Amino acid sequence: MAAIKFKKEFYNLIKEGKKTQTLRIPQKRLDLKKYDFATCIFEGCDEQIFVTITDVGYKYWQSLNDEDAKREGFDTLDDLKKFLYSIYHDVPSWGRLYYYRFKVEGFTVRVGEENEENV
């Protein structure tokens, strides 16, 4: 099963369905296609989220819009672009970004959240 790596800060956004897309530069492109099942793993976090890829494609930096920001879990397009620059320092304004849209299928349980009947 494919794995998608995320920063820990995105765990709750993905789990709650507020982040439904990830953007990657060509060098970080994922080997995923529509309908693939993948595991989201988070830096410094044992929990995982399982997703189905609903769409894959690319767009150019200048064509990013408010809908992309919302899918990424950001309030504004400016916030999304600042974040992308913070991790991809040299994204050119004409650069291509690959998007992977997904829906949550399930997740592992955080330690301490187990149902006592299942312990």
So what's the pLDDT on residue 90?
Answer: 77
Evaluate if residue 111 carries a pLDDT over 80.
no
Residue 79 lies in a domain: yes
CB 16 within 8 A of CB 103: no
Residue 17 lies in a domain: yes
Residue 46 lies in a domain: yes
- Identify the bridge partners of residue 4 per DSSP, sorted by sequence position: 40
Residue 117 lies in a domain: no
The label of the residue with tokens 């956004």 reads 13
What CATH number did the domain enclosing 101 receive? 3.10.400.10
Residue 8 lies in a domain: yes
Does this model's pTM top 0.75? yes
Model pLDDT for residues 31-78, shown as the tens digit of each residue = 999 999 999 999 999 999 999 999 999 999 999 999 999 999 999 999
Model pLDDT for residues 82-101, shown as the tens digit of each residue = 999 999 887 777 789 999 99
Domain count, the chain: 1
| Cα–Cα distance for residue pair 65/1, rounded to 1 Å | 31
Residue 92 lies in a domain: yes
